[in-house]
């Protein structure tokens, strides 16, 4: 929840004003709700009316919903959506790495794309990662760096408290910019991909709902505090990546820490995406698809794909907004509410049905509008 993408939230507030604060809170509540109903889809009642876990993954839920149409159709849709979101996350890490390097070494005559290539070279060892154990160690180090970054940046914000003014918030907003902000905020909360596995590995799965409530609450408080203090500090001058606003004596230090965080965070979505693809390809009895060399080829191809996408779409906030609007909205709002209605229709109360339908409609509208506006923004950037 508190990943590197919180750096885009102050920029989202710039374009959404007071409504952005409301959106951060609303997104937390809706994401918490859809997380709960997604996990509810893993369970069915037995003859004694006891809940039994009959499904293990997001893919299993999707297949159960679409079994009348096609036994594997739902799983294919979910896997494709998951892979797209994970790959886009990897692309964002490369884009932000290029941005951070270019602003850290201003005296070096290279553009952001060239710096992204350098970051890509540093990530080449990812093709040799075979187990989640290595990924978890890297992610743990990344989390430690992230705490240091937030502490330093928040301390600086507080030293500028004499400059804060609520007058910096806009009451009137541009509708298209607002919709891009919606995508940015949604993307910062997406976690549904990992919830079934997380719940299945908890020592006490019965505590899952309580855990989800508290994590979303604290995530909401921290995101709101960070975004608000950053925006009150710089107002209309707030940039896409908030660290670009820091004074030079702090910017280089924080940027290098953020670069470390981005590079350490990249392996997790990269590993998850390649594992999904490799598992789908090697499910048959084709021995050629199970060789270590083939797995290396899959990882290498995905690594190169993320570089090419980072080179052609080097705009952090717009890319984050587009990803949030497409895959984020689908995995977080559309599919959980749709699956819950499909699997639990007969057991849901009228209010629960209304809640699921409302979430689905809201998610669909936000996704559609966000896609149109993000693509329009990218086209304008490219001239």
pLDDT for position 268: 84
Break the chain into its structural domains and give their ranges: 5-382
How remote is the C-alpha of 97 from its chain's centroid?
A: 16
pLDDT for position 2: 61
Backbone angles phi, psi at 40, to 5 degrees: -60, -30
Distances (CA, A) of 199 to 145, 223, 268: 27, 24, 18
pLDDT digits (tens, 9 = 90+) for 101-125: 887 787 888 887 888 888 889 998 8
Q: Which of 263, 237, 242 is nearest to 254 (CA)?
A: 242
Distances (CA, A) of 69 to 38, 66, 281, 337, 341: 21, 5, 22, 19, 17
pLDDT for position 341: 93
pLDDT for position 317: 58
pLDDT digits (tens, 9 = 90+) for 190-201: 778 778 877 887
pLDDT for position 336: 92
| Phi-psi region at 286: left, alpha or beta (left = phi > 0; alpha = psi -120 to 50) | beta
Q: Which two tokens stand for residue 283?
A: 């499910």
Contact 168, 235 (CB under 8 A): yes
pLDDT for position 27: 87
Q: pTM for the whole thing?
A: 0.78
pLDDT for position 382: 67
What are the residue ranges in the chain where pLDDT is below 70?
1-5, 168, 170-173, 175-177, 179-180, 183, 187, 283-290, 313-325, 370, 373-374, 377-378, 381-383
Helical pair 132-159 and 267-281, crossing angle rounded to 10 deg? 150
pLDDT for position 165: 74
Contact 81, 327 (CB under 8 A): yes
CA distance 345 to 340: 7
CA distance 46 to 139: 39
Range list of H helices, the chain: 9-16, 18-40, 58-65, 73-104, 112-122, 132-159, 175-187, 195-200, 208-234, 248-265, 267-281, 292-312, 316-323, 329, 335-344, 350-381
pLDDT for position 365: 82
**111: helix, coil or strand?**
coil
The yes or no reply on domain 5-382 and CATH 3.90.1150.10 is no
Contact 330, 78 (CB under 8 A): no
CA distance 184 to 204: 33
Between the two ends of the chain, the Cα-to-Cα distance in Å is 34
Contact 103, 255 (CB under 8 A): yes
pLDDT for position 5: 65
* Residue 221 C-beta-side C-alpha neighbours within 13 Å: 5
- Count of all residues that appear for the chain in the document: 383
| Phi-psi region at 49: left, alpha or beta (left = phi > 0; alpha = psi -120 to 50) | left
pLDDT digits (tens, 9 = 90+) for 168-214: 676 666 766 676 677 677 767 777 877 887 788 788 888 999 999 99
């Amino acid at each position: 929840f508190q990943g590197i993408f919180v750096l885009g939230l102050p920029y989202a507030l710039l374009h959404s004003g007071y409504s952005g604060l409301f959106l951060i809170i609303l997104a937390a509540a809706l994401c918490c709700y859809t997380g709960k109903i997604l996990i509810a889809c893993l369970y069915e009642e037995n003859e004694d009316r006891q809940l039994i876990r009959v499904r293990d993954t997001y893919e299993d839920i999707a297949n159960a919903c679409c079994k009348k149409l096609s036994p594997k159709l739902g799983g294919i849709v979910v896997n494709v959506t998951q892979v797209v979101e994970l790959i886009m996350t990897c692309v964002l890490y490369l884009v932000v790495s290029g941005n951070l390097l270019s602003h850290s070494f201003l005296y070096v005559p290279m553009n952001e794309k060239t710096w992204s290539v350098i970051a890509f070279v540093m990530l080449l060892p990812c093709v040799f990662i075979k187990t989640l154990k290595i990924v978890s160690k890297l992610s743990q180090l990344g989390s430690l760096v992230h705490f240091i970054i937030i502490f330093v940046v928040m301390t600086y914000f507080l030293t500028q408290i004499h400059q804060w003014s609520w007058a910096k918030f806009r009451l009137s907003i541009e509708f298209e910019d607002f919709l891009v902000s919606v995508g940015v905020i949604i993307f910062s909360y997406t976690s549904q991909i990992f919830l079934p596995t997380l719940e299945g590995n908890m020592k006490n799965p019965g505590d899952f709902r309580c855990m989800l409530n508290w994590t979303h609450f604290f995530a909401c408080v921290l995101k709101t505090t960070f975004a608000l203090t950053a925006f009150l500090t710089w107002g209309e001058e707030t940039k896409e990546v908030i660290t670009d606003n820091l004074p030079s004596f702090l910017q280089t230090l924080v940027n290098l820490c953020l670069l470390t965080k981005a590079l350490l965070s990249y392996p997790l979505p990269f590993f998850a995406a390649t594992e999904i693809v490799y598992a789908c390809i090697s499910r048959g009895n084709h021995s050629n698809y199970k060789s270590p060399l083939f797995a290396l080829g899959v990882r290498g191809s995905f690594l190169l794909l993320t570089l090419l996408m980072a080179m052609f779409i080097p705009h952090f906030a717009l890319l984050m907004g587009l990803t949030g609007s497409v895959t984020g909205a689908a995995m977080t709002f559309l599919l959980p509410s749709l699956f819950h209605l499909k699997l639990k229709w007969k057991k849901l109360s009228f209010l629960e049905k209304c809640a699921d339908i409302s979430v689905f409609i809201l998610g669909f509208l936000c996704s559609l509008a966000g896609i149109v506006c993000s693509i329009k923004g990218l086209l304008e950037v490219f001239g």
